[in-house]
Amino acid sequence: MKRAEIKRRPLADTTLLNLEPEATEYRELDGQGLYFRVKPDGQKSWQLRYKKPDGKWSWLGIGGYPAVSGAQARQKAAELRADAAAGKNPIASKQARKAAEEAAANNKFEPLAREWFEGRRARWEPGTAKRIIGALELHVFPVFGKRPYADITPMEWLDFFRGMEKKGILDQMSNVRRYCMDIYDLAWTTGRAQHNPIERLHKHLLTREVENYAHVTAAELPALLRAINAYPHAHDIRLGLQLLMLTAVRPSELREAPWAEFDLEQGIWTIPAERMKKRREHVVPLSRQALDALNELKRLTGAYSLLFPGRNDRTKPRSNMAFNMALRRLGYQGQQTGHGFRHIASTILREKGFLKDHVEAQLAHAEDGVAGVYNKAIYLEQRHEMMQWYADHLDTLAAGNVVSIKRKA
């Protein structure tokens, strides 16, 4: 569209969109000192012509088109004209409004969450990072993304998480709650929030703890140990189940472990903070039986970086269901899970008189705050002796000539 074809002002949206450039830059009046500028290369923008306090006329850019629409440009021009009429400097007013707009945009939950995500994503596997941001985009951003994070109340968050509970997605709810709590921790640490509204909500929400932490009784344990030792399918998974029992670590900590974390000569496994639930480096003493299992496993997977490389992509760990699926094949669905081995170890060790502090240190449990300042190698010598006793005790329980593998009905 040629500028000569303009029929009315303010300029119509179709006119703004279709105005053609000319050999030289030109401006077309929209109204009340607001002009639409078109450059020879086709770039378009808005400018306001205003009178400065000294009586001289000047130009002030309002923004590029189409990022700033006609309606937006007229609103901004009206604000700047009012400032000029009140004796204010329109340039300073424009800068102040821009700063306020940026601050308002940055105090929304979604920008804060994406800042947190970008700061953490290098620590995660690509698949993990994709799942985390996907969960936030699916569940949280549509509800709270455009809200100022400091204005969202604990009750609103509780209602939100209970809504996820009602959908039956408890694991997803638990993960999302943890992500959001970490996001608020970032705001608090950087002085942008006075409190974390999600911090205590877990006490009022459901979990799958009973199912995820299922474990056999003391009377059933010997049969389970013999069944695991005779697991007839994947040898690496058999060794993994044995190591879960012998180390009392979380399944993810073992499943995702690289060989580089292990010092088999010293009998030490050092798990870095980024792989630990509490984000604290943790040292795991290895019994003779655990070392035997690791050396056998190394003959199977030592050519790869991971202890349990995936079947299709050796650079990624086995599925997070690998251990539990093996237990199901052995007939222990609903009776024993990978995480449940931690409860077995805790119960046996406490019942046999080992100090609570030593057991809790082995499980990498520590309170938050000053009281929970955690030494990664705390009670290491005592734990080494404790876990060697535990491994020997398990051998005693498993001893026998009969192997009984439960089958699913």
Tell me how far apart the alpha carbons of residues 228 and 300 are, in angstroms, rounded to a whole number.
18
Tell me how far apart the alpha carbons of residues 238 and 231 are, in angstroms, rounded to a whole number.
6
Pick the CATH number of 212-398 from 1.10.443.10, 2.60.40.10, 3.40.50.261, 1.10.275.10: 1.10.443.10
Query: Which of 164-178, 233-247, 299-313 is predicted with the least confidence, judged by mean pLDDT?
Result: 164-178
**Residue 372, CA distances (Å) to 78, 257, 280, 289 in order:** 57, 25, 11, 31
**Residue 146, CA distances (Å) to 101, 137, 290 in order:** 13, 12, 50
Parallel/antiparallel/unpaired status of strands 57-65 and 282-285: unpaired
Q: Given 202, 365, 376, 406, which residue is catalytic?
A: 365
Q: What's the whole-model pTM score?
A: 0.51
pLDDT attached to residue 84? 73
Residue 277 catalytic? yes
Residue 332 catalytic? no
> Is pLDDT of 220 > 70?
yes
Q: Given 76, 226, 318, 339, which residue is catalytic?
A: 339
The candidate with the shortest Cα–Cα distance to 360, out of 382, 338, 339, is 382
Query: Which of 24-28, 120-124, 154-158, 376-380 is predicted with the least confidence, judged by mean pLDDT?
Result: 376-380
Query: Which of 144-153, 172-181, 223-232, 270-279 is predicted with the least confidence, judged by mean pLDDT?
Result: 270-279
> Is pLDDT of 373 > 50?
no
- Domain 109-207 sits in CATH at 1.10.150.130
The answer to whether the CB of 78 falls within 8 A of the CB of 34 is: no
The answer to whether the CB of 362 falls within 8 A of the CB of 387 is: yes
The candidate with the shortest Cα–Cα distance to 222, out of 3, 395, 99, is 395
pLDDT attached to residue 408? 44
Q: What is the pLDDT of residues 160-199, one digit of tens each?
A: 999 988 887 777 888 899 999 999 999 888 888 888 999 8
Domain boundaries, the chain: 3-106, 109-207, 212-398
> Is pLDDT of 264 > 80?
yes
Which residue has tokens 């303010």? 10
pLDDT attached to residue 167? 81
Q: Given 39, 146, 167, 277, which residue is catalytic?
A: 277
pLDDT band of 87, cuts 50, 70, 90: low
Fold annotation for 3-106: Double Stranded RNA Binding Domain (3.30.160)
Check if 3-106 and 212-398 are the same fold. Answer: no
Residue 233 catalytic? no
Residue 339 catalytic? yes
Q: What is the pLDDT of residues 249-263, one digit of tens each?
A: 999 899 999 999 999
**Residue 196, CA distances (Å) to 192, 366, 398 in order:** 11, 20, 48
pLDDT attached to residue 212? 56
pLDDT attached to residue 402? 42
Q: Given 177, 238, 342, 383, which residue is catalytic?
A: 342
